[in-house]
Structure 1
Amino acid sequence: MVIEVYSLSIGSWKEIESESLKGVSPSDIICNWVTVNGRIFWDAATPEDKEDGVYRTCLILSFDIALEVFTVIPGPPQLDVSGGFEFTLSAYDDNKLAIIYVPRVGRPPKYLYSLIHLWVLEEKGTSSSTERWIWTKIYTSNPCPAKFDVPRTMWGNKFVFFCIREPSLTNESGGEMENRFSLSIITNEGKIFEIPQCYGSWALNHVESLVPVGNIHFEEP
């Protein structure tokens, strides 16, 4: 695995040490990422974790932007990723990594309902021991409809989801629409709202850049 970082200050690429990533399969670094408190986090897995297309354990890959160091963090030990589940990474309280975990109850494809769990990561000290990272489950929802798709992100104190297996919607102008669902972890109240339909849409938190990206110049190879 070769990893390079592009520096805006010097305008060039440099290779980053990846010795700590031994045992992590490049093909299993899932495109589920979030930036929290100066670090980028991804889902990850080891080659031995996947059997018949199902992951057995949860790993988190962390990259410290300032120190340019990678760390592999174990996921919550109680988090079962071997069955019908969906989870995603997000930011909680602006400076903590969170996992939104949605196990489905029942037999596929006719699940009875889903539950929504929120795990938050606390870091203790700087040792390399797995005890350095402490996961705490701070929220569990009431049973929710199983039609909810992968949780996309946290916004303030709300979750945002895709809704699936819904009939096609149209607005007053005849445009196609689709549903989103938000759930407040403070009040346990949910809300469905509509947005214009688009293929492969995602939900991301927006933070303004300190660097004017318009000043980046690309050279022809």
Structure 2
Amino acid sequence: MTDVAQGSAAPSVPLAASPAPGARCFGDGNPLYERYHDEEWGLPVHGEHALYERFTLEAFQSGLAWITVLRKRPAFREAFAGFDPEVVAEYDESDVARLMADASIVRNRAKIDASIANARALRDLHAAGGTLDEILWSFAPDRSDWVRPSSWAGLPATTPESKALAKELKASGFRFVGPTTAYAAMQACGVVDDHLATCPVVLARTPASS
């Protein structure tokens, strides 16, 4: 999700905004957004279908509010064969025309073409014995001394790891995976957990002091 700082992971709020005490990082008041915040964002994701979905949706989100893509997620899943990269890799011009005519998804030719190209890149990666899972998680940063920020101003839009991940993916034939999108995918897949320090999700994990 890339609505803040051109790649940080919050909904459309000012960069320096800090959620009120006890509020979620984002999503309060919208049940769909709340579930995504509580049950998905920042939690580890593995598996080629699930990761291909996250990268595809992050690419489609570029330039849009994440909630727009989140609302269309069921339609995206139907349009892209449950995000099975082996199926999407076989899409041809008739499929592109079908997707461009599908008002239930984001109709952007460049993003549709990239999604198909990425499925083909993933198929080639599998044929060579690699996986997207291995590539993505190999760029997990060492956060042993990281201090969780309390405002969006403390989160980056890109990191050295996201830049390296984007470079690696592009070398493998992936498209629409610049450092900003790569970092958003790292957040979405739990490679980094960027819930703010005051977020209820974080507070729930913190043992009460005796």
| TM-score computed with the length of structure 2 as normaliser | 0.29
| TM-score computed with the length of structure 1 as normaliser | 0.28
Between structure 1 and structure 2, the one with the greater Rg is 1
Q: Which has the higher contact order (CA 8 A, sep 6+)?
A: 2
Structure (1 or 2) with the greater helix fraction: 2
